[in-house]
Amino acid sequence: MKIEPRFEREKVDLSGFWHFKVDPEKKGEEEQWFEHPSVQRWDKIYAPAPWNEQDSEYTWYMGTAWYTREFSIPEDWADKIVLAVFEGVNYEAKVWINGVSLGEHEGGFTPFAFRAEKVLKFGDSNRIVVMVDNTLTKKTVPPGEGMNETYFDFFHYGGIHREVYLLSVPKVHVKDVTIRTDIKGKDGLIDVDIEVLNDLEEECAGKLTIQVIDGKEVVAEEIVDLSLAPKTRKTVDKKLTVSNARFWSPESPHLYTLRTSLAFGGNRGDVKDTRFGVRTVKIENGKILLNGRPVFLKGFARHEDFPVLGKTLHGAILRKDYGLMKEIGSNSFRTSHYPYSKSHLDLADENGFLVILETPAVGLRRGVERLDDPEIIKRVRRMTREMILRDKNRPSVIMYSLFNEPDSTREEFRTILKEAKEEARKTDPTRPVTFASSKHLDDKALDLVDVLCHNFYYGWYSYSGDLQEAEKVLSETLDEIHKRHPEKPIIITEFGAGAIAGVHKHPPEMWSEEYQAEFIKTYWKVFLSKDYVAGGHIWNFADFRVGQSTRRTTENRKGIFTRTRDPKLSVGVVKKLFKNTPTYR
Ligand code: GCB
């Protein structure tokens, strides 16, 4: 079998300097800044990257801001569909090209795209204008009331913080691919759904070639005859088998490519590649089974955060972080508290990390009047769906966390959890769902999830400075949770203590590097003593920027690395703990 040739779908990348103007009085729309912005008087900033740390004037800015730039589009794109793609804009975006409105999107961490070919000038210069609003309210997801009054504990960056580009795709193309894998003996069973769109005014007939590619070899192939009526879409469902498959796992993160190629009337059409791994994830008898073996997650809850770049973790930083995470011996992390960028997760697939993928639904507590507010439910459902649609084919993603630390003592939380869960199951019935609870024995919703995730801070926020008592209470609480839900594995998705790099105390005291190291050691001992504990994630991999308050010294200091990735004392300790804890147990 011959590998079908690959064409990259062509892109016009819009990374670079954009003209920029804040609009605190929100007069831009009325004054039609999207029409002919008088950019001579505008500032310039770089995208992708939040606006906050690019100039001190913008650091604490919350409100509306405008971006604009020119770009040109090749002439030979004229017969194509052209999408204006945004991988992440925090929090709300409205987009115009050549003065025409393309649409709007809400939510900072999931991608969106608008059809643009009708308003573009091909072989010519075009202007894009993006209005971004990062205003938080009690009903945004996540919610808040100001830069220092967020209902969540990380800095509220604003702006275009992930890639923006124009993408050309043929009028007949593969719109979406869903890959589900199973294992039978030594074989990988691949179940694919391929959605093909015919956007032409005429019927088209041809063939779809589906190939599983392993390195330079086609290891499975199916060819399907296809005909599509004008302006319709069709989903092709096929099952392929890879004999003697190499299964994806932390120790051997083997990736295959599914290539879908269209051909019509002898002409080659769209080619789309989707990476995947052959692996299974199941929850059985209180264990998380990866390819049938019980796994133990050792790792971190992370943040996307770095000086100046804010939430935009450049490839070089990601490369460094993964190197450090592997050197320490970790095999897992949670995308606390929002879906991370594509490249962040690409590296998880490639490096064999087991990822708990979390939605941006953090902070649904205190100030939020009703957790079952229809507006909030709608937002949560949409963000959950957008996240899963983006990441459903990643082998690294082993479960979805639908919320972080909601007020799960309130009865209404059950309503919004059920809604989010229904959306998750509908979009992807294969992966377990969970949420990170801080309510433990008072939690009213643990019966609704597949895996129990708990965040503990005994020895920090309570039993402060007293690790002996913390150990006792932690152990008793875990046993009681397990007693109530014996069939569900428990992961400790957060545990940690603040340590200011350079502060040392003997005997260990809060805020010292020694106390943090002792804290982690104490917790780890408890986890390993319990058969039902399926993992521990240290809060946090690195220190990260937060809003201003009396509780924090500009950053949350619970990282075992500083914000710039210098190690604290804990790193050596954690390395030993992780190396002595096998992935399968
Ligand atoms: C938590 C939150 C996390 C905070 C952390 C802390 O429980 O989930 O967002 O940053 O505690 O350090 O207080």
Residue nearest (by alpha carbon) to ligand 1 atom 6: 153
Of residues 399 and 3, the one with the higher pLDDT is 399
**Type and span of the H or E element at 283:** strand 281-284
| Residue in 457, 500, 537, 539 to alter for ligand 1 test, most ligand atoms within 8 A of Cβ | 539
558 Cα to the center of ligand 1, angstroms: 9
CA distances from 531 to 293, 294, 450, 526 (A): 14, 11, 17, 10
- Ligand 1 centroid–CA 454 distance in Å is 12
Amino acid at 350: E
Q: Whose CA is nearest to atom 7 of ligand 1?
A: 455
pLDDT of residue 38: 87
Ligand 1 contact, 18 CB (< 6 A): no
State which of 153, 362, 403 you would mutate to test the pocket of ligand 1, scoring each by most atoms of that ligand within 8 A of its C-beta.
153
Ligand 1 nearest atom to the CA of residue 336, by list position? 9
Amino acid 312 reads: T
Digit-coded pLDDT (tens) for 539-585:
999 999 999 999 999 999 999 999 999 999 999 999 999 999 999 98
Distance 304 CA to ligand 1 centre (A): 14
Could you give the angle at the alpha carbon of 571 between the alpha carbons of 565 and 577, nearest 5°? 145
Distance 373 CA to ligand 1 centre (A): 24
With a cut of 70, say whether residue 165 has pLDDT above it.
Answer: yes
User: Going by CA atoms, what residue is nearest to atom 10 of ligand 1?
Assistant: 153
Ligand 1 neighbour 455 (Cβ under 6 A) = yes
Backbone angles phi, psi at 133, to 5 degrees: -130, 120
| CA of 351 relative to ligand 1 center, distance in Å | 27
Strands of 100-153 (E only): list them: 100-106, 112-115, 124-133
Q: Which helix (H) or strand (E) holds 576?
A: helix 570-579
pLDDT over 70 (residue 7): no
Q: How many CB atoms lie within 10 A of CB 209?
A: 17
Atom of ligand 1 nearest to the CA of 496: 12
Q: Is 405 a catalytic residue?
A: yes
Of 405, 423, 513, 514, the catalytic one is 405
C-alpha 153 to ligand 1 mean position (Å) = 6
Torsion angle, alpha carbons of 59, 61, 64, 66, to 10: -30
222 is a catalytic site residue: no
CA distance 491 to 354: 13
* Per-chain mean pLDDT for the chain: 97
Q: Residue 569 phi/psi, 5° resolution?
A: -50, -35
- The residue ranges of DSSP E strands in 91-186, in sequence order, are 92-97, 100-106, 112-115, 124-133, 159-160, 164-169, 172-184
Residue with tokens 């929850």: 283
Q: What angle do CA 228, 430, 455 make, to 5 degrees?
A: 140
Half-sphere exposure of 164 (CA within 13 A, CB side): 26
Beta-carbon neighbour count of residue 273 at 10 Å? 16
Find out whether the beta carbon of 168 lies less than 6 Å from any atom of ligand 1.
Answer: no
Query: Which stretches of 38-164 are DSSP H helices?
Result: none
Ligand 1 proximity of 384 Cβ (cutoff 6 Å): no
Buried residues in 167-184 as b, exposed as e (16+ CB within 10 A): bbbbbbbbbbbbbbbeee
**In sequence order, what are the residues at sequence separation of 6 or more whose Cβ sits closer than 8 angstroms to the Cβ of residue 32?**
none
CA 60–ligand 1 middle distance (angstroms): 21
- Would you call 118 exposed, middle or buried from its count of C-beta atoms within 10 A (0-12, 13-18, 19+)? exposed
Q: Is the pLDDT of residue 267 over 80?
A: no
User: What residues have CB less than 8 Å from 382, skipping those under 6 apart?
Assistant: 106, 107
Q: What was the pLDDT predicted at 36?
A: 85
* Ligand 1 in reach of 405 Cβ (< 6 A): yes
**Average of pLDDT values for 476-489?**
98
Residues in the chain: 585
Max distance between CA atoms of the chain, in angstroms, equals: 78
Average confidence (pLDDT) over 479-484 = 98
SS3 of residue 426 by DSSP: helix
State the average pLDDT over residues 503-518.
98
How many angstroms separate the alpha carbon of residue 151 from the centre of ligand 1?
A: 11
Angle (deg, nearest 10), helices 315-328 and 342-351: 30
How far is 325 from 163, CA to CA, in rounded Å? Answer: 25
168 Cα distance to chain centroid: 25
pLDDT at 8: 65
User: pLDDT per residue over 145-158, tens digit each?
Assistant: 999 999 999 999 99
Annotated catalytic residue within 163, 386, 494, 513 = 494
Given a cut of 70, whether residue 386 has pLDDT beyond it is yes
Among all chains, which residue has been given the structure tokens 């939690």?
Answer: 443
| Measured torsion, CA atoms of residues 148, 151, 157, 160, in degrees rounded to the nearest 10 | -150
Q: What is the DSSP letter of 491?
A: E
Q: What is the pLDDT of residue 473?
A: 98
Which whole number is the average pLDDT over 28-46?
94
Measure the CA–CA gap between 223 and 258, rounded to whole angstroms.
13
Nearest CA to ligand 1 atom 13: 153
Q: With pLDDT > 90 as the criterion, what percentage of the chain qualifies?
A: 96
Ligand 1 nearest atom to the CA of residue 558, by list position: 12
**Residue 262: beta bridge partners?**
208
pLDDT at 9: 81
What is the pLDDT confidence band of residue 264, given thresholds at 50, 70 and 90?
confident
* Cross-strand partners of 278: 247
Distance from the CA of 252 to the center of ligand 1, in angstroms?
32
Q: Are 513 and 504 in contact (CB under 8 A)?
A: yes
- Is the C-beta atom of 437 inside 6 A of ligand 1? no
| Residue 121 neighbours by CB under 8 Å, 6+ apart | 73, 98
Whose alpha carbon is nearest atom 9 of ligand 1?
A: 153
Please state, in angstroms and as integers, the Cα–Cα distance from residue 575 to each residue in 190, 293, 500, 525, 584, following that order.
37, 23, 20, 14, 17
| Burial annotation 217-252 (CB, 10 A radius, 16+ → b, else e) | ebbbbbeeebebeeeeeeebeeebebeebbbbbbee
pLDDT over 80 (residue 265): no
Ligand 1 pocket member 335 (CB < 6 A): no
pTM value is 0.98
User: How far apart (Å, rounded) are the C-alpha atoms in residues 366 and 368?
Assistant: 6
Task: Choose which residue among 461, 491, 494, 500 to substitute to test ligand 1 binding: the one with the highest number of ligand atoms within 8 A of its C-beta.
Answer: 494
Q: What is the pLDDT of residues 292-340, one digit of tens each?
A: 999 999 999 999 999 999 999 999 999 999 999 999 999 999 999 999 9
Q: What is the spatial distance between Cα 441 and Cα 41, in angstroms, rounded to a whole number?
A: 58
438 CA: nearest ligand 1 atom? 7
Task: Please name the residues in contact with 550: beta carbons below 8 A apart, sequence gap of 6 or more.
Answer: none
Quick one: which atom of ligand 1 is closest to the CA of 556? 12
Closest Cα partner for 304 from 319, 314, 294?
314
Q: Which residue's CA lies nearest to atom 4 of ligand 1?
A: 153
Does any ligand 1 atom lie closer than 6 A to the CB of residue 404? yes
The residues near 536 (Cβ < 8 Å, ≥ 6 apart) are 297, 298, 491, 492, 495, 523, 524, 527
Peptide bond into 339 cis (omega under 30): no
Above 80 in pLDDT, residue 5?
Answer: no
Cα–Cα distance for residue pair 357/346, rounded to 1 Å: 13
Ligand 1 pocket residue status of 133, Cβ below 6 Å:
no
Distance 456 CA to ligand 1 centre (A): 9
